A and B are shown apart, each in its own frame.
Chain A
Amino acid sequence: MDLLQKILDTGLSTITDVLPIVLIIFGFQVLVLRQRVTKLKRVLTGFVYVLIGLTLFLVGLEVALFPVGKLMAQQLTDPDFIKQTAGVLSGSLRWDDYAWVYLFAAAIGFATTVAEPALIAVAIKAQQVSGGAVTVWGLRVAVAVGVAAGIALGAFRIVTGTPLHYYIISGYIVVILQTLYAPRMIVALAYDSGGVTTSTVTVPLVTALGLGLASNIPGRSALIDGFGLIAFASLFPIMTVMGYAQLGEWRARRNLNRQMRLEAAGDSHDE
């Protein structure tokens, strides 16, 4: 029964969340653009679908995923557990004793990004607009790999306690260098994928991981060091998405070269 109650509560808060957006859109449609919404009934049912979908999605996450994910983050960052798996009997832990934590960070970063609805939306649009040069799954996997790498590195940063801005600033420098060489059509999309990755699914789990780590490691403050993982998760996908396009371009060029060589060989054979 409390599940039903939860669905109602979440539904209500989703409505208050979506309402300003609907008001702005229809307000401008009626007052400024002075046009009727085409297929109004279809659009309205679509909004209802969005509401139902988001509500069920959020409740499902809250019931199933977040408790387990948070529990796992706690268990994995528990000093006793780490001592046991790393075979450390006494003394303090070193950064490489946290191997399972980094692996979990990467795996959960990858998996939650694949399920992120906002990313699915952007990937659908990107496939449409690029005429298939960027595929829905290609983009999603590229972004997920970026988030995985970012969160694993972010966990490493919390363990070692190195300052956040060193990482972020060097990341920016890599992004800038890559921008100079990446195909032009991917640049804007790559920058976008940084912001898209971190919404409904990823943020709560990643935050739990960060807080778990920061509160279990001596000398870290949950309040200060717990932050910053999201920043990693939004920086690294930019690199991997540009890398994805660079890889595609490189492969296309290699195929073209091979084809030309084959043709040249065929020509010489004919003579």
Chain B
Amino acid sequence: MEQLRVFAGSLLSSFRDLLPIILVVAFFQIFVIRQPVPDFGRILAGCGLVIFGLTFFIRGLEQALFPIGESIAYAFARKGNVFWLLLFAFALGFGTTIAEPALTAVTAKAAVIAARDGAIATDKAVMADYALGLRLTVAISVGVAIVIGVFRILRGWPIQYLIMGGYAGVVIMTFFAPQEIIGIAYDSGGVTTSTVTVPLVTALGVGLASSIKGRNPMVDGFGLIAFASLTPIIFVMGYGMII
């Protein structure tokens, strides 16, 4: 009975999360576009699925992703082996990015652009190679990002200098990178961080920062995602310059 009430409560809060979208769509449909919405029943069913999905996801977040990320952080901190920790960081960043569907879509589009602009041959195999190379580049860059981020937490370096250094790198490279890669590079920073990776990586960072003496979880624990959205921009522009 109690569990049912908790479940109903989380369903309600998921509904609240979705409400703004429903309102925006309804407003524009009714007042601006003024055309009937096709297949209304299907849309209603879809909204129901979104609400249930969000509820289950949040439950799983608190039951699996957060605790496992933290327990791994504590275990590594106790063990004190930096090499394995950094290897884990790289594996997590690389492994979660290489399979990301959003990234696959973006790199395929990037190959089309590159072929059209004559940067590579308009040949299916060449384009597939280019897209795969781009995907590997981004995955490696995310792995490197998590490694840098974890190392920063260990050392307690202030994040702003690293991020500002990264931005300066982005700005400088923008002037030298081929024009057609710039938009894709900027966007690739945004598509790398998936819904499963973010909670895990956040729990890892916060867990590390709270188990290492002298680190503050608020000041030092966050920031891993920031690196993961910065390094792909630099690496992708680099890829565009080399190819």
Contacts and interface: CB of A to CB of B under 8 A. Distances in A.
Contacts, number: 326
A164 B186 contact: yes
A200 interface: yes
B37 A68 contact: yes
B56 A56 contact: yes
A40 to B, nearest CB: 10
Contact of A53 (B21, B45, B56, B184): B56
B190 A117 contact: no
A65 B60 contact: no
A230 B167 contact: no
Interface in B33-48: 33, 35, 37-38, 42-48
A35 interface: yes
Interface size bracket, B side? 35 or more
Contacts of A85: 32
Contacts of A255: none
B223 A192 contact: yes
Contact of A189 (B56, B64, B218): B218
A208 interface: no
A72 interface: yes
Contacts of B48: 60
Interface in A159-213: 164-165, 168-169, 172, 175-176, 179, 184-185, 187-189, 191-192, 194-201, 203
A89 interface: no
The secondary-structure label for the interface of chain A is: helix
7 contacts: A17-B99, A17-B101, A17-B194, A57-B57, A192-B225, A197-B190, A227-B186
Nearest to A185: B218
A57 B217 CA distance: 31
Contacts of B27: 107
Given A55-B53, A118-B198, A199 B21 contact: no
B164 to A, nearest CB: 6
A25 B68 contact: yes
Contact of B24 (A44, A60, A107, A118): A107
A50 B61 contact: yes
Given A59-B53, A194-B226, A198-B193, 20 more contacts: A50-B64, A50-B65, A54-B196, A57-B54, A59-B49, A60-B47, A64-B42, A68-B43, A115-B54, A129-B206, A129-B221, A169-B171, A188-B226, A189-B218, A191-B225, A195-B190, A195-B229, A224-B113, A228-B186, A231-B183
